[in-house]
Structure 1
Amino acid sequence: MQVILGISFNKNKSKRIARWIIIILPVCIMTSLIHEPLHRKMFHYETETEKSYIDKTNETIVDIIEPVTKNKTLINTIYRSTTTRYVWCVIHYSSTFVQDYNISILFFHLIVPFLANLLSALIIIFGNARQRSRAQINQTIQEHVRQQLNEHKQLLISPVVLLILSMPRLVISVLPGCVRTSRNLWLYLIAYFFSFTPSVLTFIIFAVPSKLYMKIFRNTLIAWRHRTHRKLKNVK
Protein backbone atom coordinates (compact mmCIF):
# COMPACT_ATOMS: atom_id res chain seq x y z
CA MET A 1 0.00 0.00 0.00
CA GLN A 2 2.86 2.38 0.68
CA VAL A 3 4.09 1.91 -2.89
CA ILE A 4 0.65 2.77 -4.29
CA LEU A 5 -0.35 5.62 -1.95
CA GLY A 6 3.07 7.18 -1.59
CA ILE A 7 3.16 10.14 0.82
CA SER A 8 -0.56 9.77 1.59
CA PHE A 9 0.08 6.37 3.20
CA ASN A 10 -1.20 6.21 6.80
CA LYS A 11 0.86 3.78 8.81
CA ASN A 12 -1.45 3.64 11.84
CA LYS A 13 -4.52 3.05 9.68
CA SER A 14 -2.67 0.32 7.79
CA LYS A 15 -1.84 -1.44 11.09
CA ARG A 16 -5.50 -1.35 12.18
CA ILE A 17 -6.62 -2.81 8.85
CA ALA A 18 -3.95 -5.52 9.09
CA ARG A 19 -5.15 -6.52 12.57
CA TRP A 20 -8.73 -6.86 11.34
CA ILE A 21 -7.60 -8.91 8.35
CA ILE A 22 -5.64 -11.26 10.62
CA ILE A 23 -8.80 -11.83 12.69
CA ILE A 24 -11.35 -12.04 9.86
CA LEU A 25 -9.37 -14.10 7.33
CA PRO A 26 -9.05 -17.33 9.41
CA VAL A 27 -12.75 -17.15 10.26
CA CYS A 28 -13.68 -16.83 6.58
CA ILE A 29 -11.41 -19.72 5.60
CA MET A 30 -12.78 -22.05 8.30
CA THR A 31 -16.35 -21.07 7.40
CA SER A 32 -15.79 -21.89 3.73
CA LEU A 33 -14.45 -25.36 4.69
CA ILE A 34 -17.04 -26.20 7.36
CA HIS A 35 -18.74 -28.67 4.98
CA GLU A 36 -15.76 -31.06 4.94
CA PRO A 37 -15.92 -32.41 8.54
CA LEU A 38 -19.70 -32.72 8.22
CA HIS A 39 -19.34 -35.14 5.30
CA ARG A 40 -16.43 -37.25 6.52
CA LYS A 41 -17.11 -40.96 7.01
CA MET A 42 -15.08 -44.02 7.95
CA PHE A 43 -14.48 -46.30 4.99
CA HIS A 44 -13.38 -49.92 5.54
CA TYR A 45 -11.96 -52.03 2.74
CA GLU A 46 -9.85 -55.13 2.32
CA THR A 47 -7.14 -55.81 -0.21
CA GLU A 48 -5.93 -59.16 -1.43
CA THR A 49 -2.31 -59.81 -2.30
CA GLU A 50 -1.34 -61.60 -5.49
CA LYS A 51 -2.27 -65.27 -5.39
CA SER A 52 0.35 -68.03 -5.42
CA TYR A 53 -0.93 -71.02 -7.35
CA ILE A 54 0.45 -74.41 -6.29
CA ASP A 55 0.16 -77.79 -8.03
CA LYS A 56 -1.33 -80.40 -5.70
CA THR A 57 0.81 -83.22 -7.05
CA ASN A 58 4.30 -81.75 -7.44
CA GLU A 59 3.98 -78.82 -5.02
CA THR A 60 5.56 -76.47 -7.56
CA ILE A 61 4.51 -72.92 -8.46
CA VAL A 62 2.38 -72.79 -11.59
CA ASP A 63 1.75 -69.37 -13.20
CA ILE A 64 -1.88 -70.03 -14.10
CA ILE A 65 -5.14 -68.70 -12.73
CA GLU A 66 -7.59 -71.18 -14.23
CA PRO A 67 -7.18 -74.96 -14.44
CA VAL A 68 -5.71 -75.77 -17.87
CA THR A 69 -5.36 -78.95 -19.88
CA LYS A 70 -1.89 -79.98 -20.94
CA ASN A 71 -1.29 -83.22 -22.91
CA LYS A 72 -4.87 -84.28 -22.19
CA THR A 73 -4.13 -84.23 -18.43
CA LEU A 74 -6.11 -81.91 -16.13
CA ILE A 75 -4.01 -80.03 -13.59
CA ASN A 76 -5.93 -79.02 -10.48
CA THR A 77 -4.54 -76.05 -8.55
CA ILE A 78 -4.91 -74.45 -5.16
CA TYR A 79 -3.77 -70.96 -4.08
CA ARG A 80 -2.59 -69.03 -1.05
CA SER A 81 -3.74 -65.44 -0.52
CA THR A 82 -3.47 -62.80 2.18
CA THR A 83 -5.98 -60.05 2.90
CA THR A 84 -5.22 -56.75 4.60
CA ARG A 85 -7.85 -54.52 6.18
CA TYR A 86 -7.60 -50.73 5.89
CA VAL A 87 -9.63 -47.93 7.42
CA TRP A 88 -9.80 -44.57 5.69
CA CYS A 89 -11.51 -41.32 6.56
CA VAL A 90 -13.04 -40.25 3.25
CA ILE A 91 -15.41 -37.49 2.24
CA HIS A 92 -18.70 -38.49 0.66
CA TYR A 93 -20.99 -35.71 -0.55
CA SER A 94 -24.68 -36.43 -0.66
CA SER A 95 -25.42 -33.98 -3.48
CA THR A 96 -23.65 -32.72 -6.57
CA PHE A 97 -24.14 -29.13 -5.40
CA VAL A 98 -21.94 -29.69 -2.32
CA GLN A 99 -19.37 -31.52 -4.43
CA ASP A 100 -19.24 -28.68 -6.98
CA TYR A 101 -19.00 -26.17 -4.15
CA ASN A 102 -16.10 -28.09 -2.63
CA ILE A 103 -14.18 -28.14 -5.93
CA SER A 104 -14.83 -24.42 -6.43
CA ILE A 105 -13.59 -23.62 -2.91
CA LEU A 106 -10.45 -25.70 -3.42
CA PHE A 107 -9.59 -23.84 -6.61
CA PHE A 108 -10.46 -20.53 -4.94
CA HIS A 109 -8.08 -21.19 -2.02
CA LEU A 110 -5.38 -22.18 -4.50
CA ILE A 111 -5.69 -19.52 -7.21
CA VAL A 112 -6.70 -16.41 -5.23
CA PRO A 113 -3.72 -16.42 -2.78
CA PHE A 114 -1.37 -17.14 -5.69
CA LEU A 115 -2.72 -14.22 -7.73
CA ALA A 116 -2.77 -11.92 -4.69
CA ASN A 117 0.88 -12.68 -3.85
CA LEU A 118 1.95 -12.42 -7.48
CA LEU A 119 0.15 -9.12 -8.11
CA SER A 120 1.48 -7.67 -4.84
CA ALA A 121 5.02 -8.62 -5.85
CA LEU A 122 4.63 -7.03 -9.28
CA ILE A 123 3.16 -3.84 -7.76
CA ILE A 124 6.07 -3.58 -5.32
CA ILE A 125 8.69 -4.20 -8.02
CA PHE A 126 7.30 -1.87 -10.69
CA GLY A 127 6.14 0.73 -8.16
CA ASN A 128 9.58 1.02 -6.58
CA ALA A 129 11.21 1.05 -10.01
CA ARG A 130 8.96 3.92 -11.14
CA GLN A 131 9.65 5.96 -7.99
CA ARG A 132 13.40 5.45 -8.24
CA SER A 133 13.42 6.32 -11.94
CA ARG A 134 11.98 9.72 -11.05
CA ALA A 135 14.65 10.34 -8.41
CA GLN A 136 17.59 8.75 -10.26
CA ILE A 137 17.24 9.93 -13.84
CA ASN A 138 20.72 8.70 -14.80
CA GLN A 139 19.30 5.13 -15.03
CA THR A 140 16.53 3.90 -17.31
CA ILE A 141 13.29 2.40 -16.07
CA GLN A 142 14.40 -1.03 -17.37
CA GLU A 143 17.54 -0.90 -15.25
CA HIS A 144 15.51 -0.02 -12.17
CA VAL A 145 13.09 -2.88 -12.89
CA ARG A 146 15.97 -5.37 -13.18
CA GLN A 147 17.43 -4.06 -9.94
CA GLN A 148 14.11 -4.43 -8.14
CA LEU A 149 13.63 -7.92 -9.57
CA ASN A 150 16.99 -8.97 -8.19
CA GLU A 151 16.22 -7.37 -4.81
CA HIS A 152 12.68 -8.79 -4.44
CA LYS A 153 12.98 -12.06 -6.36
CA GLN A 154 11.72 -14.01 -3.34
CA LEU A 155 8.33 -12.30 -3.76
CA LEU A 156 7.99 -13.98 -7.17
CA ILE A 157 9.55 -17.32 -6.24
CA SER A 158 7.41 -17.94 -3.15
CA PRO A 159 3.94 -17.87 -4.82
CA VAL A 160 5.11 -20.23 -7.56
CA VAL A 161 6.58 -22.66 -5.01
CA LEU A 162 3.38 -22.55 -2.96
CA LEU A 163 1.29 -23.24 -6.06
CA ILE A 164 3.41 -26.24 -7.06
CA LEU A 165 3.41 -27.73 -3.55
CA SER A 166 -0.36 -27.33 -3.24
CA MET A 167 -1.16 -29.14 -6.49
CA PRO A 168 -0.96 -32.75 -5.11
CA ARG A 169 -3.53 -32.01 -2.42
CA LEU A 170 -5.85 -30.41 -4.97
CA VAL A 171 -5.58 -33.38 -7.31
CA ILE A 172 -6.18 -35.87 -4.49
CA SER A 173 -9.14 -33.85 -3.18
CA VAL A 174 -11.00 -33.97 -6.49
CA LEU A 175 -10.50 -37.72 -6.88
CA PRO A 176 -13.43 -40.00 -5.99
CA GLY A 177 -13.61 -41.13 -2.37
CA CYS A 178 -13.28 -44.85 -3.14
CA VAL A 179 -10.05 -45.09 -5.10
CA ARG A 180 -7.90 -48.17 -5.26
CA THR A 181 -4.77 -47.22 -3.35
CA SER A 182 -3.65 -50.62 -2.08
CA ARG A 183 -0.88 -51.00 -4.65
CA ASN A 184 0.50 -47.47 -4.17
CA LEU A 185 -0.59 -46.72 -0.62
CA TRP A 186 2.58 -44.93 0.51
CA LEU A 187 2.79 -42.94 -2.72
CA TYR A 188 -0.76 -41.74 -2.12
CA LEU A 189 0.03 -40.70 1.47
CA ILE A 190 3.32 -39.01 0.56
CA ALA A 191 1.65 -36.96 -2.17
CA TYR A 192 -1.08 -35.88 0.25
CA PHE A 193 1.25 -34.83 3.07
CA PHE A 194 3.65 -33.25 0.58
CA SER A 195 1.08 -30.54 -0.03
CA PHE A 196 1.37 -29.42 3.62
CA THR A 197 5.05 -28.57 3.29
CA PRO A 198 4.40 -24.85 2.62
CA SER A 199 3.11 -24.37 6.16
CA VAL A 200 6.05 -26.36 7.54
CA LEU A 201 8.73 -24.69 5.41
CA THR A 202 7.51 -21.10 5.64
CA PHE A 203 10.94 -19.81 6.64
CA ILE A 204 12.69 -21.61 3.78
CA ILE A 205 10.16 -20.51 1.17
CA PHE A 206 9.84 -16.85 2.14
CA ALA A 207 12.97 -15.87 4.08
CA VAL A 208 15.86 -17.86 2.60
CA PRO A 209 15.54 -16.51 -0.99
CA SER A 210 15.65 -12.89 0.30
CA LYS A 211 19.02 -11.30 1.03
CA LEU A 212 17.33 -8.63 3.16
CA TYR A 213 15.41 -11.12 5.31
CA MET A 214 18.46 -13.33 5.77
CA LYS A 215 20.56 -10.31 6.78
CA ILE A 216 17.97 -9.32 9.39
CA PHE A 217 17.77 -12.94 10.56
CA ARG A 218 21.55 -13.22 11.00
CA ASN A 219 21.70 -9.89 12.83
CA THR A 220 18.90 -11.05 15.12
CA LEU A 221 20.74 -14.30 15.89
CA ILE A 222 23.96 -12.40 16.64
CA ALA A 223 22.13 -9.96 18.94
CA TRP A 224 20.35 -12.84 20.69
CA ARG A 225 23.65 -14.70 21.18
CA HIS A 226 25.36 -11.63 22.66
CA ARG A 227 22.40 -11.03 24.97
CA THR A 228 22.51 -14.65 26.12
CA HIS A 229 26.27 -14.46 26.81
CA ARG A 230 25.80 -11.31 28.89
CA LYS A 231 23.05 -12.94 30.96
CA LEU A 232 25.19 -16.03 31.55
CA LYS A 233 28.11 -13.87 32.71
CA ASN A 234 25.86 -12.01 35.11
CA VAL A 235 24.61 -15.28 36.57
CA LYS A 236 28.17 -16.54 37.12
Structure 2
Amino acid sequence: MIEIENLSKTFTLHNQGGAVIRVMEGANLTVRRGECVALTGASGSGKSTLMRMIYGNYMAADGAIRVSGVDVARASPREILALRRDTLGYVSQFLRVVPRVPTRGVVAEPLRRLGISEGDARARAERLLTLLNIPEALWALSPTTFSGGEQQRVNIARGFAHSYPALLLDEPTAALDADNRAVVLDLILSAKARGAAMIGIFHDAEARDRVCDRTVDVTAFSTGRAA
Protein backbone atom coordinates (compact mmCIF):
# COMPACT_ATOMS: atom_id res chain seq x y z
CA MET A 1 0.00 0.00 0.00
CA ILE A 2 2.83 2.45 0.92
CA GLU A 3 6.18 1.78 -0.73
CA ILE A 4 9.25 3.99 -0.40
CA GLU A 5 12.19 3.13 -2.61
CA ASN A 6 15.67 4.70 -2.62
CA LEU A 7 14.22 8.00 -1.42
CA SER A 8 16.43 11.07 -0.98
CA LYS A 9 15.75 14.61 0.19
CA THR A 10 17.82 17.78 0.21
CA PHE A 11 17.14 21.33 1.36
CA THR A 12 18.80 24.32 -0.30
CA LEU A 13 19.52 27.29 1.99
CA HIS A 14 19.15 30.18 -0.43
CA ASN A 15 19.85 32.76 2.27
CA GLN A 16 23.17 31.06 3.09
CA GLY A 17 24.88 31.03 -0.26
CA GLY A 18 22.83 28.20 -1.70
CA ALA A 19 24.24 25.61 0.70
CA VAL A 20 22.65 22.18 0.18
CA ILE A 21 21.82 20.00 3.16
CA ARG A 22 21.15 16.33 2.49
CA VAL A 23 18.68 15.13 5.12
CA MET A 24 17.76 11.72 3.71
CA GLU A 25 19.37 9.27 1.33
CA GLY A 26 18.51 5.78 0.12
CA ALA A 27 15.39 5.33 2.28
CA ASN A 28 13.43 2.12 1.72
CA LEU A 29 10.24 1.21 3.53
CA THR A 30 7.12 -0.85 2.81
CA VAL A 31 3.92 -0.67 4.85
CA ARG A 32 1.34 -3.34 4.14
CA ARG A 33 -2.42 -3.19 4.46
CA GLY A 34 -3.50 -3.49 8.08
CA GLU A 35 -0.06 -2.53 9.38
CA CYS A 36 0.93 0.46 11.51
CA VAL A 37 4.60 1.47 11.45
CA ALA A 38 6.05 3.96 13.94
CA LEU A 39 8.85 6.29 12.88
CA THR A 40 11.44 6.78 15.60
CA GLY A 41 14.62 8.79 15.95
CA ALA A 42 15.91 11.89 17.69
CA SER A 43 14.41 15.31 17.07
CA GLY A 44 15.60 16.55 13.69
CA SER A 45 16.32 13.08 12.33
CA GLY A 46 13.72 13.40 9.54
CA LYS A 47 10.49 11.86 10.85
CA SER A 48 8.26 14.80 9.97
CA THR A 49 10.15 15.39 6.74
CA LEU A 50 9.41 11.84 5.62
CA MET A 51 5.72 12.19 6.49
CA ARG A 52 5.46 15.45 4.54
CA MET A 53 7.15 13.84 1.54
CA ILE A 54 4.66 10.97 1.57
CA TYR A 55 1.79 13.46 1.73
CA GLY A 56 3.26 15.49 -1.11
CA ASN A 57 4.06 18.66 0.84
CA TYR A 58 7.82 18.23 0.28
CA MET A 59 9.38 17.24 -3.03
CA ALA A 60 11.80 14.32 -3.17
CA ALA A 61 15.29 14.78 -4.59
CA ASP A 62 15.29 11.21 -5.90
CA GLY A 63 13.49 7.90 -5.48
CA ALA A 64 9.85 6.80 -5.38
CA ILE A 65 6.95 7.12 -2.94
CA ARG A 66 4.10 4.88 -4.07
CA VAL A 67 0.75 5.08 -2.28
CA SER A 68 -1.81 2.69 -3.71
CA GLY A 69 0.20 2.68 -6.94
CA VAL A 70 0.53 6.46 -7.28
CA ASP A 71 4.12 7.73 -7.17
CA VAL A 72 3.80 10.90 -5.09
CA ALA A 73 7.39 11.87 -5.98
CA ARG A 74 6.39 12.26 -9.63
CA ALA A 75 2.65 12.89 -9.48
CA SER A 76 1.05 16.09 -10.70
CA PRO A 77 -0.66 18.42 -8.21
CA ARG A 78 -4.03 17.22 -9.53
CA GLU A 79 -3.06 13.59 -8.89
CA ILE A 80 -1.87 14.39 -5.38
CA LEU A 81 -5.12 16.19 -4.55
CA ALA A 82 -7.10 13.20 -5.83
CA LEU A 83 -4.96 10.85 -3.73
CA ARG A 84 -5.61 12.95 -0.62
CA ARG A 85 -9.32 13.04 -1.33
CA ASP A 86 -9.80 9.31 -1.83
CA THR A 87 -6.86 7.35 -0.43
CA LEU A 88 -4.37 9.15 1.82
CA GLY A 89 -5.39 10.83 5.07
CA TYR A 90 -3.21 12.91 7.40
CA VAL A 91 -3.87 13.54 11.09
CA SER A 92 -1.50 16.34 12.06
CA GLN A 93 -0.85 17.86 15.48
CA PHE A 94 -2.17 21.23 14.37
CA LEU A 95 -5.64 22.20 13.19
CA ARG A 96 -5.62 24.37 10.07
CA VAL A 97 -9.10 25.28 8.90
CA VAL A 98 -10.93 28.13 7.22
CA PRO A 99 -12.09 30.57 9.92
CA ARG A 100 -15.78 30.68 10.80
CA VAL A 101 -16.52 27.19 9.45
CA PRO A 102 -18.45 25.30 12.16
CA THR A 103 -16.76 22.32 13.80
CA ARG A 104 -19.38 19.96 12.42
CA GLY A 105 -18.61 21.21 8.91
CA VAL A 106 -14.84 20.89 9.42
CA VAL A 107 -15.22 17.19 10.26
CA ALA A 108 -17.78 16.49 7.52
CA GLU A 109 -15.82 18.25 4.76
CA PRO A 110 -13.71 15.23 3.62
CA LEU A 111 -16.92 13.25 3.15
CA ARG A 112 -18.64 16.00 1.16
CA ARG A 113 -15.61 16.13 -1.16
CA LEU A 114 -16.31 12.48 -1.95
CA GLY A 115 -19.89 13.28 -2.94
CA ILE A 116 -21.49 11.90 0.21
CA SER A 117 -24.81 13.56 0.98
CA GLU A 118 -24.93 16.44 3.44
CA GLY A 119 -27.11 14.43 5.81
CA ASP A 120 -24.86 11.37 5.86
CA ALA A 121 -21.69 13.46 6.18
CA ARG A 122 -23.21 15.44 9.03
CA ALA A 123 -24.33 12.28 10.84
CA ARG A 124 -20.85 10.71 10.57
CA ALA A 125 -19.25 13.93 11.83
CA GLU A 126 -21.58 14.09 14.80
CA ARG A 127 -20.89 10.47 15.74
CA LEU A 128 -17.14 11.11 15.78
CA LEU A 129 -17.47 14.37 17.70
CA THR A 130 -19.57 12.55 20.29
CA LEU A 131 -17.09 9.69 20.47
CA LEU A 132 -14.23 12.15 21.01
CA ASN A 133 -16.11 14.02 23.73
CA ILE A 134 -16.53 17.35 21.93
CA PRO A 135 -19.61 18.91 23.58
CA GLU A 136 -22.60 19.35 21.26
CA ALA A 137 -22.74 23.02 22.25
CA LEU A 138 -19.44 23.51 20.36
CA TRP A 139 -20.42 21.81 17.10
CA ALA A 140 -21.84 24.99 15.55
CA LEU A 141 -18.80 27.06 16.55
CA SER A 142 -15.49 27.46 14.74
CA PRO A 143 -12.79 25.27 16.33
CA THR A 144 -10.20 28.04 15.89
CA THR A 145 -10.98 29.27 19.42
CA PHE A 146 -10.90 25.82 21.06
CA SER A 147 -8.26 24.56 23.47
CA GLY A 148 -5.29 22.62 22.11
CA GLY A 149 -6.76 19.28 23.18
CA GLU A 150 -10.16 20.09 21.66
CA GLN A 151 -8.56 21.17 18.39
CA GLN A 152 -6.56 17.96 18.25
CA ARG A 153 -9.72 15.90 18.76
CA VAL A 154 -11.46 17.80 15.96
CA ASN A 155 -8.44 17.07 13.76
CA ILE A 156 -8.65 13.38 14.64
CA ALA A 157 -12.39 13.29 13.91
CA ARG A 158 -11.74 14.90 10.52
CA GLY A 159 -8.92 12.44 9.77
CA PHE A 160 -11.07 9.41 10.57
CA ALA A 161 -14.30 10.69 8.96
CA HIS A 162 -13.46 8.87 5.73
CA SER A 163 -12.12 5.32 5.77
CA TYR A 164 -8.83 6.17 4.08
CA PRO A 165 -6.87 3.13 2.86
CA ALA A 166 -3.66 4.86 4.01
CA LEU A 167 -3.16 7.19 6.98
CA LEU A 168 -0.34 9.35 8.31
CA LEU A 169 -0.50 10.05 12.05
CA ASP A 170 1.58 12.86 13.57
CA GLU A 171 1.50 12.52 17.37
CA PRO A 172 -2.24 11.70 17.46
CA THR A 173 -2.36 11.38 21.28
CA ALA A 174 0.04 14.19 22.24
CA ALA A 175 -2.41 16.60 23.91
CA LEU A 176 -5.06 14.15 25.10
CA ASP A 177 -6.22 12.98 28.50
CA ALA A 178 -6.43 9.27 29.30
CA ASP A 179 -10.06 8.80 28.21
CA ASN A 180 -9.68 10.52 24.85
CA ARG A 181 -6.32 8.86 24.28
CA ALA A 182 -8.04 5.47 24.65
CA VAL A 183 -10.69 6.49 22.10
CA VAL A 184 -8.05 7.49 19.57
CA LEU A 185 -6.09 4.28 20.02
CA ASP A 186 -9.31 2.32 19.43
CA LEU A 187 -9.91 4.29 16.22
CA ILE A 188 -6.40 3.39 15.04
CA LEU A 189 -6.93 -0.28 15.87
CA SER A 190 -10.25 -0.26 14.02
CA ALA A 191 -8.55 1.28 10.98
CA LYS A 192 -5.92 -1.47 11.10
CA ALA A 193 -8.65 -4.10 11.31
CA ARG A 194 -10.29 -2.81 8.12
CA GLY A 195 -6.93 -2.92 6.34
CA ALA A 196 -5.58 0.63 6.47
CA ALA A 197 -1.82 1.06 6.07
CA MET A 198 -0.52 3.60 8.60
CA ILE A 199 2.70 5.43 9.37
CA GLY A 200 2.90 7.41 12.58
CA ILE A 201 5.06 9.43 14.92
CA PHE A 202 4.37 8.39 18.52
CA HIS A 203 6.45 9.84 21.32
CA ASP A 204 3.98 8.14 23.67
CA ALA A 205 5.77 4.79 24.01
CA GLU A 206 2.78 3.02 25.58
CA ALA A 207 0.49 4.13 22.75
CA ARG A 208 3.10 3.11 20.19
CA ASP A 209 3.43 -0.34 21.70
CA ARG A 210 -0.32 -0.85 21.66
CA VAL A 211 -1.10 0.06 18.05
CA CYS A 212 2.15 -0.29 16.07
CA ASP A 213 3.41 -3.52 14.54
CA ARG A 214 7.02 -2.36 14.27
CA THR A 215 9.25 0.68 14.49
CA VAL A 216 11.61 2.19 11.94
CA ASP A 217 14.48 4.43 13.04
CA VAL A 218 14.73 7.14 10.38
CA THR A 219 18.30 7.86 11.47
CA ALA A 220 19.23 4.87 9.31
CA PHE A 221 17.94 6.69 6.21
CA SER A 222 20.58 9.39 6.49
CA THR A 223 23.27 6.76 5.90
CA GLY A 224 21.51 5.06 3.01
CA ARG A 225 20.73 1.85 4.92
CA ALA A 226 17.47 0.06 4.17
CA ALA A 227 14.81 -0.33 6.85
Question: When the two structures are superposed, what TM-score results if normalisation uses the length of structure 2?
Answer: 0.22
Higher Cα radius of gyration = 1
More helix by share: 1
More strand by share: 2
Question: When the two structures are superposed, what TM-score results if normalisation uses the length of structure 1?
Answer: 0.22
